[in-house]
Chain A
Amino acid sequence: AQKITQTQPGMFVQEKEAVTLDCTYDTSDQSYGLFWYKQPSSGEMIFLIYQGSYDEQNATEGRYSLNFQKARKSANLVISASQLGDSAMYFCAMRESNQAGTALIFGKGTTLSVSS
């Protein structure tokens, strides 16, 4: 079964608008971590934000915030005030605590296009 689901293949937004990228996950583990990465056309994966399953507050990093709804198993990324440079592929990922090592399970990604 797919563990990370990103249902939006593509999203289009204008500069300065806020955008929400959806991510739902599936795990029976009580302790896990959720990550968002950005991948520009250059290919490099850029870490954006992390949310631990026991964190009571939603994570924020600058213009990025993570809307964590544990009961619904969702971890949506909110980008405020979009910029042209935000155009990229965005991946949601999860790490379960019962697994060995630091391997991440990734979703299929969402392509975000920001226009002026």
Chain B
Amino acid sequence: KAGVTQTPRYLIKTRGQQVTLSCSPISGHRSVSWYQQTPGQGLQFLFEYFSETQRNKGNFPGRFSGRQFSNSRSEMNVSTLELGDSALYLCASSPRLAGGPGNEQFFGPGTRLTVL
């Protein structure tokens, strides 16, 4: 079974621009979560989508948004980029929304975003 894929793998943008990142979950997985990883803040949860609906949101400004399509693929958008948005953005998929065994999150390789 193919793993979680993320595109693009690397991205360089300038301040003020916007960016869209894409994530394709493991086949059959309906929950997609996004995390931001920076050296200073570590791994922080951005949001989670399930059945095309945002189910959970972390503590990030409204510049960060996302959506999920009917095939469970998800996109994440960051508008008006700031230098501090430079990070590794990780997408994770899981079969169901609830916690517990058998519902581990499986991560993609990440998109490394650099904002100049």
> Given the complex of chains A and B, what is the CA–CA distance between A57 and B64 in angstroms?
41
Taking the closest CB of chain B, its distance from the CB of A107, in whole angstroms, is 8
* Residue ranges of B at the interface with A (Cβ–Cβ < 8 Å): 31, 33, 35, 42-45, 48, 50, 55-56, 58, 88, 90, 92, 94, 96-101, 103-110, 112
Q: Which partner residue on chain B sits nearest A94 by CB separation?
A: B99
- Specify the chain A residue showing the minimal Cβ separation from B103: A102
Q: Which residue of A lies closest to B9 (CB)?
A: A43
* Stretch of A13-21, A44-52, A66-74, A78-86 that contacts chain B: A44-52
Which of B33, B105, B109 has the most C-beta atoms of chain A within 10 angstroms of its own C-beta? B105
> Can you pick out 5 interface pairs between chain A and chain B where the beta carbons lie within 8 Å of each other?
A44-B107, A44-B109, A99-B56, A102-B94, A103-B48
Which residues does chain A contribute within 8 Å of B103, judged by CB atoms? 102
Q: Which of chain A's residues has its CB closest to B54's CB? A: A101
B106, A101: Cβ atoms closer than 8 Å: no
A42-B109, A43-B110, A43-B112 given; A102·B101 CB < 8 A: no
Q: Is the CB of B101 within 8 A of A50?
A: yes
Q: A37 and B107: CB pair below 8 A?
A: yes
CA distance A35 to B94 in the complex (A): 14
**Contact residues in A for B56 (Cβ distance below 8 Å):** 99-103
A43 touches B88 (CB 8 A): yes
* New A-B pairs, 5, CB < 8 Å, besides A43-B109, A50-B101, A103-B48: A44-B108, A44-B109, A47-B104, A104-B105, A107-B42
Contacts of B45 in A (CB 8 A): 103-105
Among A91, A97, A103, which residue has the most Cβ atoms of chain B within 10 A? A103
Q: Is B33 in contact with A106, judged by CB distance below 8 angstroms?
A: no
Bound Cα distance A45, B3 (Å): 12
Q: Give the CA-CA distance A46 to B107 in the complex, in Å.
A: 7
Q: Which 9 A-B pairs have the closest CB atoms?
A: A101-B56, A45-B107, A106-B43, A103-B45, A43-B110, A101-B48, A44-B109, A100-B56, A101-B55
Interface centre among A46, A50, A100 (most CB of B within 10 A): A100
Cβ-defined contact, A95 with B99, below 8 A? yes
Which residues from chain A contact B100 at a C-beta distance below 8 Å?
33, 52
